[in-house]
Chain A
Amino acid sequence: MLAFILRRLVQSVIVMLTVALVAFALFRFVGDPIASMVGQETTLAERAELRDALGLNDPFLVQFWSFIARAVQGDFGISYRLQQPVMELILSRLPATLELALVSGVLAFVFGVGFGVYTALRRGNWLSGSIMTVSLIGVSLPTFLIGVLLIWVFAVELQWLPSFGRGDTVYVGDWWRTGLLTESGRASLILPAITLGLYQMTLIMRLVRAEMLEVLRTDYIKFARARGLSSRAVNFGHALKNTLVPVITITGLQMGSIIAFSIITETVFQWPGVGALFINSVRFVDVPVMAAYLMLIALVFVVINLIVDLLYYAVDPRLRVDRANARH
């Protein structure tokens, strides 16, 4: 077990280093940060001086090495754009993104499972039909458009919900700022959460529906019906329970992408999370923030995968036997 964990940890470190290397290689094509850092009156000599002071003229590997050396000490430098320490900046934005991701993840799961079960059980009725059709729109429309449409309907026309921002926030503990405890914060969360979760919801719904249809055809369901169990006990006690294993796995893995892909939703709704921070940093060529963000996202995926692997290892005895036989 310990050897397995250690091996996975070493692999995770290699993944992180690879991500950092690829990210650094890409930064060379994003542009010159100096152009957006200084005014137009700055002379060429002064620009060159600043570029030198920031180490932008150093060879690629030197820049990469100094980034890694500082990053392992938790020092990601200072933002070129906002002049604040990058770590502090990202930590202050992270709660907004995590809350949004969590709420939209929960929404996607609850509605996805609910709709999935309904459409599986009531095949052919008009409501199922319309849910399936709407869900098609959910997967095919780009997130940006969904966001703008929702803003238009619910903020501009109906004026029920705010069109941008996170509303009022309060501190829970030292640095976690939450919008969940204020009325305006909760209202602000609705539209972005729907926008971000719609795709995942559709995915889960279709998965649940397909699995349900599969399970409902199996012999033990037929047998359960023959025993005269109530359809409620059959559908929820037996059928749904057996479909949920793959659904939970997928949902867990999707959490990573919800966090990573919140960029567009955050931009449309001016949601002050790390995704919007990243986009603004790209526009400004704020290399320290971009590097730290990409490392963070890599870390999220690595950690989720690590947990999933460990859970499999704990849950599935076959895996243990296989590995023991393989003598890794």
Chain B
Amino acid sequence: MFTKPILQTARSGLMMGVAAAALVVAGTVAEAETIRWARVADALTMDPHSQNEGPTHTLNHHIYETLVGRADDGSLTPRLATEWAISEEDDTVWVFQIREGVTFHDGTPMTTEDVVFSLDRARTPPSGMAALHAAVQEVTAVDDTTVHIRMSGPAPLYVQNLTNTFIMSKAWAEENGVATAPNFAAGEEAYSVRNTNGTGPYMLVERDPEVRTVLRAFEGHWDDAPAVTEIIYTPITEAATRVAALLSGEVDIVQDVPVQDIARLEQTAGVRVVRGPENRNIFFSYDMTSESLASSNAEGNPFAVPEVREAMALAIDRNAIQQVVMRGESQPSAAPLPPFVNGWTEEMDAFGDPDIERAQELMAEAGFPDGFSVQLDCPNDRYLNDESICQALVGMLARIDIQVDLNAQTRSLHFPLIENWETDFYLLGWGVPTFDSQYVFDFLVHTREGSYGSFNGSRYSNPELDQKIQALATMTDLEERDALIAEIWDEVMEERIFLNVHNQVLAYAMRDGINLDVHPENQPKMTTVTFD
């Protein structure tokens, strides 16, 4: 793969695209079409259950399939399951109708036994997916097309947890000694890390970790043949190189476009940029419970005073952050959840102009007329422009005399601070893979106990609210449940547990003539690519 030939294939590829489009109209697709796809990081493993991680799932979605899929608008779509519902006799049982006529890449047919095996493998440690299936008690194949999943109680939203849980072949897994997910501590490489046998639209042809992965369309796939017949997936870590590779015609699609390059790429002939909201919002939170703050000179805990939290909300200028820090590439919002998540309302999202005078009054009322000092912990390599967002906030809070000492560091040092309750004031980004508010409450609002509240760095604890959050898990009447969600949000917004900044926006850049929409989970599928 080198310059001249690449340019030629790119050009002839374009021609073929035109030809293919013409053929589609005529009713047949014959031409081969290759997409060279670059993003910042490679999948960590090809094992379908070992890692619950974005790039890993994104690549695996092409090789393996899930029972239900997630469309670009966030809704669920049938994939290996054609229908799903809560059993009419027993509200703790989910019933899945499994698609017929599906075969694995090795030619064997997929059965309900494979589905049962895969779900069991996914929910058994050391699988990285186990936490999503903690409420599952038993998975059974009722007949050739029906699978029952028995939960520990009613679980109306469980199906939302299945969008990244892949189905693999039982016989293949047992033959190759990977009947359980690979173990980090085991000390040897599992067969499934570099070999696959899924039912997905593409087969793994070549896997050279962190160099290149080649996938080819699987002819025995149950669905319509995709326009893209070959995928060459290359991780390119360095942002400048990634963009250069697109401009030089060496790759066709760049998934992680640096914010500062978006505007320039849009003005480049032959390149187009598509944008869409990501399922991730960025917010600040603070220890609002402890007696005093370790990093503050204030007496007592200023964040525990509601007026201080309100003053901070009045001091933050979200629009300025959007324009200056994000160069327009974000959706400023006061709601600590992305707009397509169940429970989001426009009221939560809305925010007024910053009002420094009023904020200063509130600070005085709270007993901090001269402000206070505090340390802000911030990651510098996890979210888009994360450190710059924190820097902007430092300036904004200085206007109400809060002297913020910024501590920006790498993600592996930042997140343990939240986990260990060693930060007074921090930035966090949160995605909601279940597309339901309960996920936010479980991890960020509920008192930290058991599987709840692991990212609740505010130490917020409200037993009454905890009860409501727990009740959500088993409510099957969705209207009643939505009302309860709204009630919980009212309380959370009232208490100002989060100081939300914005929702992240994703941008993909690609050669002209290629169409690919932004996926809210940042999991684009090459099957959805069309050519002009």
Contact = CB atoms under 8 A, between A and B. Distances in A.
A237 B284 CA distance: 72
A84 B43 CA distance: 13
The B interface is mostly helix, strand or loop, or mixed, namely loop
Given A36-B411, A83-B182, A167 B250 contact: no
Interface in B166-204: 182, 184-190, 193-194
Contact of A267 (B1, B208, B237, B413): B237
B364 interface: no
A35 B241 contact: no
Contact of B244 (A30, A88, A155, A188): A155
Contacts, number: 171
A206 B36 CA distance: 44
A238 interface: no
A46 interface: yes
A41 B189 contact: no
Given A39-B52, A42-B131, A43-B454, A283 B410 contact: yes
A17 interface: no
A162 interface: yes
Interface string B442-471: 010000101100110000000000000000
A252 interface: no
B52 A184 contact: no
Contacts of A183: 2
A284 B240 CA distance: 21
Given A37-B184, A160-B3, A162-B2, A78 B189 contact: yes
B210 A280 contact: yes
Contact of A35 (B132, B187, B193, B419): B419
A196 to B, nearest CB: 15
Contact of B185 (A54, A152, A268, A272): A54
Nearest to A80: B184
A168 B6 CA distance: 13
Nearest to B5: A184
Given A35-B411, A39-B128, A270 B235 contact: yes
Interface residues of A, number: 60
A167 B5 CA distance: 12
Contacts of A54: 184-185
A31 B380 CA distance: 13
Interface residues of B, number: 62
Interface string B113-131: 0000000000001101111
A277 interface: yes
B241 A268 contact: yes
Contact of A32 (B130, B132, B247, B412): B412
A161 interface: yes
A165 B189 contact: no
Contacts of A277: 210
Interface in A143-182: 148, 151-152, 155-156, 159-168
Interface string A35-68: 1111111111111001001100000000000000
A164 B236 contact: yes
A301 interface: no
Contacts of A8: none
Contacts of B190: 83
A40 B244 CA distance: 33
Contacts of B125: 46
Given A31-B413, A39-B53, A44-B419, A78 B188 contact: yes
Given A39-B52, A40-B455, A155-B244, A32 B415 contact: yes
Nearest to B54: A39
B1 A276 contact: no
B454 A184 contact: no
15 contacts: A31-B410, A31-B411, A39-B53, A39-B128, A40-B454, A45-B450, A53-B184, A152-B244, A155-B3, A163-B250, A164-B241, A165-B234, A166-B211, A183-B2, A270-B235
Interface of B: 1-3, 6-7, 41, 44-45, 47, 50-53, 125-126, 128-132, 182, 184-190, 193-194, 208-212, 234-238, 240-241, 244-245, 247-250, 381, 410-413, 415-416, 419, 443, 448, 450-451, 454-455
Interface of A: 30-33, 35-47, 50, 53-54, 77-78, 80-85, 88, 148, 151-152, 155-156, 159-168, 183-184, 187-188, 267-270, 272, 276-277, 279-280, 283-285
Given A84-B194, A270-B236, 9 more contacts: A38-B52, A53-B184, A82-B193, A82-B210, A83-B47, A84-B193, A165-B1, A167-B1, A184-B2
